[in-house]
Every structure is written in structure tokens, then in C-alpha cells.
Amino acid sequence: MAEEALLEYLHSEIVNYILTKENNKENDLSAIEYIGYSTGYRIIERLTRELIRFKDELDTMKFICTDFWTSIYKKQIDNLRTNHQGVYVLQDNAFRFLTHLSSGSQYLEHAPKYVAFTCGIIRGSLANLGITSTVTAEVQTMPSCKFHIQVTRT
């Protein structure tokens, strides 16, 4: 699909823009994450407008892994794990923003730049669904990626 290419290019330009900013000397990815956060926060509102309320936290996570992921990344999350105490691990074996970069461990050091946006999207979406969390990503071999969600309990 042609229009998907556009998002990919825009995404890599965002990464490029943030990292080449003058005052960004330490490769600070938080701005990318924040762009993702506000995107996620807004998009989830439109996506869930006509859905019934989710039963519980796990149900919400399942929604993120299936419908949400499919509509954004064209595939489902391959594996969802949880310890039932607020930690969720989402594994995508062919993460879209990494599939065109490399397969294997070459360029591994660049992977964090390309997952920060998505960490933000997940965090923003959950935030608007009433779940405060911290999201980090872990890439061992591209293009597979694990997102760790740690729900903050108050």
C-alpha cells in the first residue's frame, strides 16, 4: 500500500530531525517518544470511540496487541506475556520500522531511535485509556522487538 510508505518516511524524518537538532548532543530520544505519546493519546481516542468499555487491564492490552497493532503496523503482536502484576511484554517478530533496516545484528546500535516513537504511542494510548505506564523497548536481533510495559500503580 502506497500510503503506508508515507508514514515510514515521515517517521524516519522525525527521527532524523530530532537527532540532528542543535541542542541535542547526547542523542536524547525523549522528544521522539513524546511525539509518539501525543500521537498515541489522540489516535486511541478516535479508534475506541465506538467500542464497548474494556473489561480490565488485560483486555485493554489484548486490544493493543490485536486491533490497534494491526491498524497501525499491519500485523498483530506475535506474543504477549504478563506476570499479572502489571508487567506486560509485547513481542513483535517483524517490527515494521525495523524490517527495512536490517535483519540480524548489523546496525543494532541504531535500533533504539526507531522504536522510541512506538514506545511513546503505546504509552500515550494506554494513558488515554486510564493506564499510567512506563514503556521501554528491547531489540536483540532486528527486526524483532520486545516492548516492556510497566504499569504504574498508585
Partner 1 sequence: MSRQTRLDSKKVNSELLTITYGALVTQMLRDFENVEDVNKQLERLGYNMGMRLIEDFLARTNSPRCLDMRETADKIQLAFRMYLNIQPTISNWAASGDEFSLIFDNNPLVEFVELPTDLSQLRYCSIICGCIRGALEMVQLEVQSWFVQDQLKGDTSTEIRVKFIRRLEDAVPAGED
In the complex, the residues that contact partner 1 under the rule CB under 8 A are 1-7, 9-11, 13-14, 16-18, 21, 31, 34-36, 38-39, 42-43, 46-47, 50-51, 63, 66-68, 70-72, 74
Toward partner 1, which CB reaches closer, 47 or 138? 47
In the structure grid, which three cell numbers stand for residue 113, read together?
Answer: 531511535
In the structure grid, which three cell numbers stand for residue 150, read together?
Answer: 510497566
CA neighbor of 80 nearest in space, from 99, 97, 96, 93:
93
In the structure grid, which three cell numbers stand for residue 48, read together?
Answer: 475506541
Toward partner 1, which CB reaches closer, 45 or 81? 45
Least CB distance to partner 1 at residue 96 (A): 12
The rounded distance, in Å, linking the Cα atoms of 119 and 86 is 16
Least CB distance to partner 1 at residue 140 (A): 27
Task: Tell me if 149 sits within 8 A of 68, measured CB to CB.
Answer: no
Toward partner 1, which CB reaches closer, 17 or 107? 17
In the chain the first and final C-alpha atoms are separated, in Å, by 43
Least CB distance to partner 1 at residue 18 (A): 8
Toward partner 1, which CB reaches closer, 118 or 144? 118
